[in-house]
Structure 1
Amino acid sequence: MTHHTTLTPPQPSTRPSGTTASAPLRGARQRSVTWAQVRAALPGALRGMDPRTLRHSPVLLVVEGGAVLTTVLAAASPSLFSWLVTLWLWATVFFATLAESIAEARGRAQASSLRATQRTTTARKVVAPRDTLASGTSLGELPAVEVASADLTVGDVVVVVAGETIPGDGDVIEGVATVDESAITGESAPVIRESGGDRCAVTGGTVVLSDRIVVRITNPPGQSFVDRMIALVEGSERQRTPNEVALNLLLTALTAVFVLAVATLQPFAVYSGARQDVIVLVALLVCLIPTTIGALLSAIGIAGMDRLVQRNVLAMSGRAVEAAGDVDVLLLDKTGTITYGNRRATDLLPVGDAGEAELAAAARLASLADDTPEGRSIVELVDHRSDAPAGELPAGSELVPFTAQTRMSGVDLPGTPGEGAVRLRKGAASAVQRWLRSTAAQPTAETLDELSRQVDSVARTGGTPLVVAQQLGDAPARVLGVVHLKDVVKDGVRERFDELRAMGIRTVMVTGDNAVTARAIAAEAGVDDVLAEATPEDKLALIRREQEGGRLVAMAGDGTNDAPALAQSDVGVAMASGTSAAKEAGNMVDLDSDPTKLIEIVEVGKQLLITRGALTTFSVANDVAKYFAILPAMFVGFFPQLGLLNVMGLHSPESAIVSAVIFNALVILALVPLALRGVRYRPSSASALLRRNLCVYGLGGLVAPFLGIKLIDLAVSLLPGL
């Protein structure tokens, strides 16, 4: 039965000791703009000024059309005013294309780093017919032929041994090996890849360090995840997202409105006896249309994808990144995401007349032969105590190793003169009780009752009790106490869930544990909801229920059983170490195979949306100051009363128009670093974010142009003829 319990809410994944983050993508985390990037982007910016390229941005196409028109008029009737307006109109177009080109140059730099990890290799392709492959014969022993990795196709089977490079993405179908994935993930610690589980996927370009594996190719060279990431970061596969398309349509509509408004202004001006120069009308049009956001829109989208790629996440589409920013429900697996993945000893509970120090010493000695993570955690717990007992075993001691059959470990210590040998055992409560019965030296009923209470107490909190017992010679056995094992919640997880709640995101912990254990861990971690004893069908049903309520759902998974839920999710993040089915079902692949990355992905998506909204607000707001600069300048000679609108006290009509055009161009250049870096995101409610952006970028968009245009006017007024 599935239990779905509502309760009242990670830090980034903890790297293994000694690992590093030196992958090309992580190394690409840099300042928002460098001079080297600007120089690399200049040729692309010039190519971007081609009208055929600017067709995707009607705003910039109108600006370039205006620049062409003013160039012709300035050549026909030269003046300092006309050439200044023309020069800065061209600068406006150039700065806009430069912003996009810088964003693409950053991607090309990352792509070069990734491409350096690729190399053409020779693959040993198994050439046996299909019936031989299905006969049960070891694939690694079948005939093979050497081929170039570029000649591999989907479904080919290759053998890779220690020291060889895996020629393409695939699944391990036979064998187990350690693989160096540092060139892709940045993790220096090797990982285990083996057949028959959720850790069977391998990535082309990684190196086998030990043993031998047989790999069935799923993505050959040229179609691998690395190749797709290279295309993505270079921008060749970036498609405009629905929100970006919608905003571009809005900007196009606003541009059309202002074109009509300016075009119809001249007849009214002529009728009023205030005929305007065409260059002035073009300047007015360029200053009124939303050039700032129109120039930065594409760069914002590219930079948003870039930030995701820097985190080693491959998004199949920009739509998924945007959806991450609008996620309402986050499904997180318990093991390895919320908890460390292995149960750990957290407490020692003495029973009867045993003291805590005696229990600690016995538990440690009885766990020395237990090489499971749980056994090692008991030794670590005792060793970190201030009164930790000496860890040396006396000569003649005999270790009793842990086995899955006995579910116990222990040690037999040699007896001292006058006393018999000491036998210590630690294990599951039922296993230790069977051992006690086999010794024919049962503890007292009172001790057994107290032991039962301690075991039940640990179980009720969702933990696992291990019992420690001792027998001295032929004396009755003593139960020394209980070791409390529990799934340890990662440090900082509660705080991260608090942040998610502040974003308005509800978290759901998905686990196969029973409801009691799940509720206990969820309460400690601060998760909103729990889906306990979950099956693949349960996950899928939960996602559909949430979506039917109008909510967007994100989840992470790595197994074939996660594929239906990943496909149904609005944001499905598959682990690169998982199965091919999971990676094909999701719309993102995390090359680090870190489930907690889902939280970072949500933050990147929200930052993308916030940056776009903030700069749109700024762009619309800064048009107000341009009205006060250009409109009085156009008509004050005919209607002196409009001089009251010259609140900035600009020097002359010509200097006012030139100053507005110059500011209109320079503000694009000034905002490029912000567009690439992104507006800083602080977890808070949607209303709080809206208030902050209106105050910072709305009010800032109103004030900055007044100051900027005035300062530029002071400089321009020094030019003779203005």
Structure 2
Amino acid sequence: MSTTLQPAPSTATELPPVAPPRGSLTWRTVRDALPASLRKLDPRRMWRVPVMFVVEVGAALTTVLAVVDPSVFAWVIAVWLWITVLFATLAEAVAESRGRAQASSLRATQRTTTARKVQGTADQLAYGSGLASLPTVEVASSQLHVGDLVVVTAGETIPGDGDVVEGVASVDESAITGESAPVIRESGGDRTAVTGGTTVLSDQIVVRITAEPGRTFVDRMIALVEGSERQKTPNEIALNVLLASLTIIFLLAVATLQPMAVYSHARQSLVVLVALLVCLIPTTIGALLSAIGIAGMDRLVQRNVLAMSGRAVEAAGDVDVLLLDKTGTITYGNRRASELLPAPGVEAGHLAEAAQLSSLADETPEGRSIVDLTQTAYGRPVLTDDALAGATLVPFSAATRMSGVDLPGRPDDGGAPQARRVRKGAASVVHQWVRSTGGEPTGGTAGHPAGHPLVGQAVDADVESVSAQGGTPLVVAEQIGDAPARLLGVVHLKDVVKEGLVERFAELRAMGIRTVMVTGDNKVTARVIADEAGVDDVLAEATPEDKLALIRREQKGGKLVAMAGDGTNDAPALAQADVGVAMSTGTTAAKEAGNMVDLDSDPTKLIEIVGIGKQLLITRGALTTFSIANDVAKYFAIIPAMFVLAFPQLHVLNVMHLHSPQSAITSAIVFNALVIVALIPLALRGVRYRAVSAVALLRRNLWIYGLGGLVAPFVGIKLIDLVVSLVPGLR
């Protein structure tokens, strides 16, 4: 068997910037969404959006008026009012269609499969061993119920959501997560949950079903990505109330305007009054509001995060405190070799060679990282079978806490071969091994070159220094022939902070978000890692009760808290947190407690989720600002047009120098419709998010979307007027 070693694969998690996928509006997208947008014109559905319901009623009224008293002006206004309503429903339909393709692929995993249901008495079916040996009966997966036990072997599809209660297996979850690498699922830990529709690749497991047919995890995903279960969020409801209130106010204003117009001998037609009302009410944000919310959840789905409600997405945007596990989130899952500390009189190259040899039989991630370090930082070659001919590998075990290799020998100065034994492990066990060979590791000169009487003390000092820094020291020693073993130096294992996290934490700090690292390590180790990563605070030696108490304490202070977890012991804290992100690989209890599930089981994604939530809120606020601002230009277009004949002095308000009253009103209505479709891509893509303070963000929105919303209509309406004025009947 070859023992050739390759460098350990990098496990760095790249953290892409929080920027949404591009949301272009193509003809194909519009074509696919058009039937759904036409169905949404049903008044029984439209009344839920008061602003657009008023526009639809106005469109119907102007259509009737155009039939009763036909004119080019009346028909143009009627047609463009219907187009305005259609563009509003189109925005929502396009947003929903983006999730439909993913829902179709998920639905493909829901084929009915045959399940081998375990039969037996209640005592036999209780948790324990030997479940796979009980008799089974084949049933359709649609006939399984909560609590049923099924046996799944290599090559078979898991028939429903459940927990592994016996066995361990490699599972292909690519149909659900899109990740091609298989995952391990086993009983008795935090990686017991399995999803229906995934495939077992090896071995055999017994699964206890935890969801009824039609209510599985995939069913919930399909319903959510299709928008059929999307409930309006509190902020969205509040904005809808505001828009409805403004609509009622402007409706009353327009209704009372006619008596004043009659009194002034400037009676207005109902078509003009309807046009005025539509231009006054905030139609732009009313048309895009639903699409913004759907697109926000869709951005999470594209990152393989399932939000159980829009409320959770919004809460992520308002988070004040982030609780992050140290291991696997801030640092890599295992400690890595970072440096070699040679003993006095020992060359660094010699220590690197011994560390590499003694780690050949250490299959732990730490052991592989030592081999990787010796190859990359010290230039040690990859060892081949020939170089290790006759060698006896001593594998690492939790019992011995040591690994090594026994080499058959090499020529000494006289040419006679001498056996060589190399060991690496915890300081105490390596010291014990050195003593067993007749050496004295803690002091003296036994086995060491002359002139270096304090080698043992120097190694001990390095061990203490590494420990004080929060690292793990491993001591390397060797024995040549029958001579006493000697210490060669120390390997420094440390928690390595993931690349890019320092910058990301700085961004969060700029947003006013406080980060808290949660770890079971002692306070000294925790503080070292926290300082290196740039985390604001630390909860060391944390228990589940400590996490829950911290979240409640922050919430009592008016803070919103987000955290990620995967184990049953995380369930209370996930349920208490305002944003609880459960890992898909975790237990059923954790997934039920959280309000989001990360299908990639990447805890660092919590940072991206916060960014997506903030982007949703920013997009909604920016487009609301734009919508209200661009109404100002419409006032300058329509009000002078309505009364300029009765009051010629109002001509000074015609700052855009529009051609005629009819062309002015028509241009305002056309712009009102076109601006909706122009903003659909921005609503789907989202306003670009930057980690800045709330004051800077408000200033940016006012300059870009406030000033932009004020200027754009003046330009747009004027350009449209130049075209409209060429149409007979609108001059």
Q: Do the aligned partners of 1:421 and 1:472 also contact (CA within 8 Å) in 2?
A: yes
Show the counterpart of 1:435: 433
Of 219-228 and 693-702, deviating more is 219-228
Q: Aligned partners of 1:188, 1:288: CA distance in 2, in Å?
A: 53
**The residue matched to 1:554 in structure 2 has which SS?**
strand
**The residue matched to 1:489 in structure 2 has which SS?**
coil
Instruction: Tell me the CA shift for residue 471 of structure 1.
Output: 2.0
Equivalent positions of 1:131-150 (< 5 A) are 131-134=123-126, 136=128, 138-150=130-142
1:47 aligns with 2:39: yes
**The residue matched to 2:110 in structure 1 has which SS?**
coil
Cα 1:137–1:496 shift into 2, 3 Å: closer
Instruction: Tell me the CA shift for residue 15 of structure 1.
Output: 8.9
Show the counterpart of 1:379: 371
**The residue matched to 2:397 in structure 1 has which SS?**
coil
Structure 2 counterpart of 1:289, one-letter code = I
Equivalent positions of 1:281-320 (< 5 A) are 281-320=273-312
Q: Aligned partners of 1:427, 1:227: CA distance in 2, in Å?
A: 50
Q: Aligned partners of 1:135, 1:588: CA distance in 2, in Å?
A: 29
Show the counterpart of 1:426: 424
Q: Aligned partners of 1:130, 1:310: CA distance in 2, in Å?
A: 43
Q: Do the aligned partners of 1:18 and 1:189 also contact (CA within 8 Å) in 2?
A: no
Q: Do the aligned partners of 2:150 and 2:208 also contact (CA within 8 Å) in 1?
A: yes
Q: Aligned partners of 1:65, 1:264: CA distance in 2, in Å?
A: 19
Instruction: Tell me the CA shift for residue 69 of structure 1.
Output: 1.4
Instruction: Tell me the CA shift for residue 160 of structure 1.
Output: 0.5
Q: Aligned partners of 1:158, 1:506: CA distance in 2, in Å?
A: 45
Instruction: Tell me the CA shift for residue 551 of structure 1.
Output: 0.5
Q: Do the aligned partners of 2:172 and 2:182 also contact (CA within 8 Å) in 1?
A: yes
Describe the superposition over 1:611-656 as per-residue Cα deviations: whole angstroms up to 9, x where unpaired: 1111000000000000100000011111111111000010011100
Q: Aligned partners of 1:114, 1:675: CA distance in 2, in Å?
A: 25
Structure 2 counterpart of 1:399, one-letter code = L
Show the counterpart of 1:273: 265
Show the counterpart of 1:568: 576
Instruction: Tell me the CA shift for residue 485 of structure 1.
Output: 0.4
**Equivalent residue for 1:255, pick from 247, 251, 264:** 247
**Equivalent residue for 1:363, pick from 350, 355, 364:** 355
**The residue matched to 2:191 in structure 1 has which SS?**
coil
Show the counterpart of 1:333: 325
Structure 2 counterpart of 1:596, one-letter code = T
Show the counterpart of 2:408: 414
Show the counterpart of 1:504: 512
Describe the superposition over 1:336-362 as per-residue Cα deviations: whole angstroms up to 9, x where unpaired: 111111111110001121111111111
Describe the superposition over 1:349-403 as per-residue Cα deviations: whole angstroms up to 9, x where unpaired: 0112111111111111111121111111111100113542573545433222222
Q: Do the aligned partners of 2:23 and 2:682 also contact (CA within 8 Å) in 1?
A: no
Q: Aligned partners of 1:274, 1:51: CA distance in 2, in Å?
A: 34
Equivalent positions of 1:614-653 (< 5 A) are 614-653=622-661
Q: Aligned partners of 1:65, 1:174: CA distance in 2, in Å?
A: 62
**Equivalent residue for 1:63, pick from 51, 55, 62:** 55
Instruction: Tell me the CA shift for residue 153 of structure 1.
Output: 1.0
Describe the superposition over 1:440-492 as per-residue Cα deviations: whole angstroms up to 9, x where unpaired: 12254311211111111101110000011122223343211100001111111
Cα 1:390–1:142 shift into 2, 3 Å: closer
Instruction: Tell me the CA shift for residue 714 of structure 1.
Output: 0.2
Where does the alignment leave 5 or more consecutive residues of structure 1 unmatched?
1-13, 20-27
**Equivalent residue for 1:125, pick from 113, 117, 126:** 117
Structure 2 counterpart of 1:144, one-letter code = T
**Equivalent residue for 2:162, pick from 153, 165, 170:** 170
Q: Aligned partners of 2:402, 2:201: CA distance in 1, in Å?
A: 35
**The residue matched to 1:371 in structure 2 has which SS?**
coil
Q: Do the aligned partners of 1:175 and 1:212 also contact (CA within 8 Å) in 2?
A: yes
Show the counterpart of 1:460: 468
Show the counterpart of 1:477: 485
**The residue matched to 1:187 in structure 2 has which SS?**
coil
Q: Aligned partners of 2:267, 2:426: CA distance in 1, in Å?
A: 95
Q: Aligned partners of 2:29, 2:379: CA distance in 1, in Å?
A: 58
Q: Aligned partners of 1:441, 1:50: CA distance in 2, in Å?
A: 90
Q: Do the aligned partners of 2:84 and 2:672 also contact (CA within 8 Å) in 1?
A: yes
1:703 aligns with 2:701: no
**The residue matched to 2:555 in structure 1 has which SS?**
helix
The two structures have a TM-score, normalised by structure 1, of 0.95
Instruction: Tell me the CA shift for residue 151 of structure 1.
Output: 1.0
Q: Aligned partners of 2:150, 2:54: CA distance in 1, in Å?
A: 56
Q: Aligned partners of 2:150, 2:328: CA distance in 1, in Å?
A: 32
Q: Do the aligned partners of 1:361 and 1:389 also contact (CA within 8 Å) in 2?
A: no
- The 4+ residue runs of structure 1 with deviation greater than 4 A are 14-19, 28-31
Q: Do the aligned partners of 2:437 and 2:483 also contact (CA within 8 Å) in 1?
A: no
Describe the superposition over 1:240-289 as per-residue Cα deviations: whole angstroms up to 9, x where unpaired: 11110000000000000000000001111111222111111111000000
Q: Do the aligned partners of 1:575 and 1:594 also contact (CA within 8 Å) in 2?
A: yes
**The residue matched to 2:249 in structure 1 has which SS?**
helix
Cα 1:144–1:414 shift into 2, 3 Å: closer
Q: Aligned partners of 1:365, 1:354: CA distance in 2, in Å?
A: 16
Q: Aligned partners of 2:635, 2:80: CA distance in 1, in Å?
A: 18
1:687 aligns with 2:681: no
Of 541-550 and 389-398, deviating more is 389-398
Show the counterpart of 2:183: 191
1:403 aligns with 2:397: yes
- Alignment identity in percent? 74
Describe the superposition over 1:94-132 as per-residue Cα deviations: whole angstroms up to 9, x where unpaired: 111111111122222221121122211011111212122
Instruction: Tell me the CA shift for residue 29 of structure 1.
Output: 5.9
Where does the alignment leave 5 or more consecutive residues of structure 2 unmatched?
1-8, 15-19, 445-453
Q: Aligned partners of 1:17, 1:503: CA distance in 2, in Å?
A: 25
Q: Aligned partners of 2:172, 2:21: CA distance in 1, in Å?
A: 23
Show the counterpart of 1:182: 174
Q: Do the aligned partners of 1:408 and 1:427 also contact (CA within 8 Å) in 2?
A: yes
Task: Report how many aligned residue pairs link the two structures.
Answer: 702
1:242 aligns with 2:234: yes
**The residue matched to 1:197 in structure 2 has which SS?**
coil
Of 531-540 and 684-693, deviating more is 684-693
Q: Aligned partners of 1:76, 1:15: CA distance in 2, in Å?
A: 75
Q: Do the aligned partners of 2:580 and 2:596 also contact (CA within 8 Å) in 1?
A: yes
Instruction: Tell me the CA shift for residue 136 of structure 1.
Output: 4.6
Instruction: Tell me the CA shift for residue 412 of structure 1.
Output: 2.1
Q: Aligned partners of 2:635, 2:517: CA distance in 1, in Å?
A: 54
Q: Do the aligned partners of 2:12 and 2:499 also contact (CA within 8 Å) in 1?
A: no
**Equivalent residue for 2:87, pick from 95, 103, 120:** 95
